[in-house]
Amino acid sequence: GAVVSQHPSRVICKSGTSVKIECRSLDFQATTMFWYRQFPKKSLMLMATSNEGSKATYEQGVEKDKFLINHASLTLSTLTVTSAHPEDSSFYICSARDDGERDTQYFGPGTRLTVL
Amino acid sequence: AQSVTQLGSHVSVSEGALVLLRCNYSSSVPPYLFWYVQYPNQGLQLLLKYTTGATLVKGINGFEAEFKKSETSFHLTKPSAHMSDAAEYFCAVSGRREYGNKLVFGAGTILRVKS
């Protein structure tokens, strides 16, 4: 149980384009999901908290107009990187907090974004 | 405010030897504590967690950790290392839901297992 999927696992795009990443909880409902960014050889940096049916809460320094988050259902949150630039290249990981087990986040496998 | 310190960015052990990964935390509220493992180019997998109750918690793959409030520690151990344990390990702390429930991660410890 407690499986979280992400799609795509890897994406390469041109500078200026937008990229959408999906995060799904496969066997549980998640009112709350989280989006992280991980730089090489670094720990995870929380970007935003995504709540089903309401606006996401962004961490300080994260541009909400650049990283659009939508949490339209209890099992799906999406992160759209708008007008991507090479500095947005990174490993993006989502997590979902099980509504039936409110204290634990389960993580997706991550998405490697490369912006050329 | 919460923070996590993992002592040792790299730990090397021989196969069959004891694994000890250190984690100290600070938290202004009762903490929830977690250990996650990350293999290259993959997401994080939950190893074990402490929320309430028994302070010695057992996780997957033979790992366990003990919550010591007086020492503000949550060290991860495994009696006998296996080659497949080579990965990066993250300790994390959060507060209960009413305190926001966000995870704060340590910097990570890369475990190398020598044959």
β-pairing verdict for B56-58 and B64-68: antiparallel
A37-53 residue pLDDT tens:
998 878 889 999 999 98
A82-98 residue pLDDT tens:
999 999 999 999 999 98
Query: Average pLDDT in the A25-41 region?
Result: 91
A95-112 residue pLDDT tens:
999 888 768 899 999 999
**B35 Cα to chain A: minimum distance (Å):** 11
With a CB cutoff of 8 Å and minimum separation 6, the contacts of B13 are B19, B81, B111, B112, B113, B114
Which pLDDT tens digits describe chain B residue by residue (115 residues)? 788 999 999 999 999 999 999 999 998 878 899 999 999 888 899 999 998 889 999 999 999 999 999 999 999 999 999 999 999 999 999 877 666 678 999 999 999 999 9
- Report yes or no: A89 and A102 within 8 Å, Cβ to Cβ: no
The span from the CA of A37 to the CA of B48, in Å, is: 22
Cβ pair A46:B45 closer than 8 A = no
**B17 Cα to chain A: minimum distance (Å):** 26
Cβ of B42 under 8 Å from any chain A Cβ?
yes
